[in-house]
Amino acid sequence: MLKIVYEDNHLLVVVKPPNLLTQGDATGDKSLFDEAKEYIKVTCQKPGDVYLGLVHRLDRPVGGLVAMARTSKAASRLSEQLRTHAMQREYLAVVHGAQIAHTGTCTDWLLDENGTVRVVQSGTPGAKEAVLNWHTLAARNNTALLHIRLETGRKHQIRVQLKNMGHPIVQDMRYGDDTPGEPIALWGAVLRLSHPTKKEDMTFLSRPQGKTFAQFDAEIDQFLNEANP
């Protein structure tokens, strides 16, 4: 069932559960985008196809906030915010290894090879620069809770860069070696944007799900309280 955080005639913000595609692919599996279009079609009683613009995506295993545009004008304006970094997406992640710097910036060059991304040397043909900033909120049981801000939006960026640092995300089945069971401990927790027509600054919050995050409940509560303007 679609979890709606915000809705009006121009903007729809929802929470994507882990292991659901953001948008349909060759697998034919259902997607968040399809569910959102069906929701609009039913609630607005539209007999034909409805317009919905997907502004950004989350990896299939990752849960969190996703913004969609209800009109083409909103899609254009939100996409421009994403391109210029006026739209800010912030993540919470639990990584292996408590001995990680309190704060820092990570810069790498990433190469996508048939869906799997790896860090390569600068100047490698096809490689793209990837930059993220992190802040450690807590460390416990040889894991650490990180607040992550992206300066670039590369495929699998957070997962690959943290693994390359020696701190893979807990339950990352592609770039780590944990036992399957729990969802990946990466969550799109904060989304900041300007409303596409009202021009009002808006902040949306989503609390991470899963047992891995549960050991950091108090720190997550504090983070979300401080993130709310």
**Mind telling me the catalytic residues?**
59
Question: Which residue type, as a one-letter code, is found at position 202?
Answer: M
Q: Which of 35, 37, 59 is nearest to 46 (CA)?
A: 37
Which DSSP state fits 174? T
Residue in the block written with tokens 């992206």:
150
Measured between alpha carbons, how far is 146 from 223 in angstroms, rounded to an integer?
Answer: 11
Residue in the block written with tokens 């950091």:
216
Helices (H), the chain: 32-43, 72-83, 157-164, 211-214, 217-227
Helices (H), 118-205: 157-164
